[in-house]
């Protein structure tokens, strides 16, 4: 199924259940939010998208503790978790918060944190968890792969 059709189905299914999502994006720069809002009706389920590219935005907007950023770095499981939780909590009403942080490349990687590394956090009232991926590809394809992983989560959330 084409990406936009998948998003349209997610919007329809979430609207039927009155579920609301919010997304905090760093390395994807708003791409995931952009793709969701390309579909008419997205306002029924999409509360907000926050581009928190810099660390100060993560601190100021999403309430990520500066010590977490200092101890683990912006690209970490811990920060993705706090971004997902933070965007869910600041977005009223909101059932699901998603936080995305990574290294899209082609520069910026290290042996410990290579280009293509991304952490995607998912936060609901019941739990907050993070998935780790490494997409060794160009910058735009990286963003598309992250979007696909977010869609997989949203599609399976209602199963």
pLDDT digits (tens, 9 = 90+) for 24-58: 999 999 999 999 999 999 999 999 999 999 999 99
Cis status of the peptide bond prior to 106, with omega within 30 of 0: yes
What span, in angstroms and rounded, lies between the C-alpha atoms of 117 and 126? Answer: 27
How many Cβ atoms from other residues are within 10 Å of residue 141's Cβ?
13
Task: Say if residues 33 and 6 touch (Cβ distance below 8 Å).
Answer: no
Quick one: pLDDT at residue 158?
87
Quick one: pLDDT at residue 1?
66
Low-confidence residues of the chain: pLDDT under 50: none
Number of separate domains in the chain:
1
Quick one: pLDDT at residue 31?
98
Query: Structural domain of residue 112, as residue ranges?
Result: 3-157
Q: Note the residue count of the chain.
A: 159
What span, in angstroms and rounded, lies between the C-alpha atoms of 71 and 157? Answer: 32
Look up the pTM and report it.
0.96
End-to-end CA distance of the chain: 18
Quick one: pLDDT at residue 159?
83
CATH code, domain carrying 148: 3.90.950.20
User: Distance of CA 158 to CAs 7, 15, 33, 152, Å?
Assistant: 14, 12, 20, 11
What span, in angstroms and rounded, lies between the C-alpha atoms of 100 and 116? Answer: 13
């Amino acid at each position: 199924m084409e990406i936009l059709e998948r998003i349209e189905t997610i919007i329809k299914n979430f609207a039927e259940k009155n579920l609301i999502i919010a997304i905090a994006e760093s390395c994807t720069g708003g791409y995931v939010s952009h793709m969701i809002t390309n579909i008419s009706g997205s306002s029924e389920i999409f509360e907000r998208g926050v581009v928190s590219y810099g660390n100060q935005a993560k601190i100021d907007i999403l309430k990520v503790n500066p010590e977490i950023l200092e101890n683990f770095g912006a690209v970490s499981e811990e920060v993705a978790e706090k971004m997902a939780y933070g965007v869910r909590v600041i977005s009223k009403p909101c059932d699901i918060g998603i936080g995305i942080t990574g290294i899209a490349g082609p520069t910026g990687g290290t042996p410990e944190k290579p280009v293509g590394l991304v952490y995607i956090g998912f936060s609901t009232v019941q739990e907050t968890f993070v998935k780790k991926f490494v997409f060794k590809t160009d910058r735009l394809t990286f963003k598309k792969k992250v979007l696909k992983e977010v869609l997989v989560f949203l599609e399976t959330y209602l199963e």
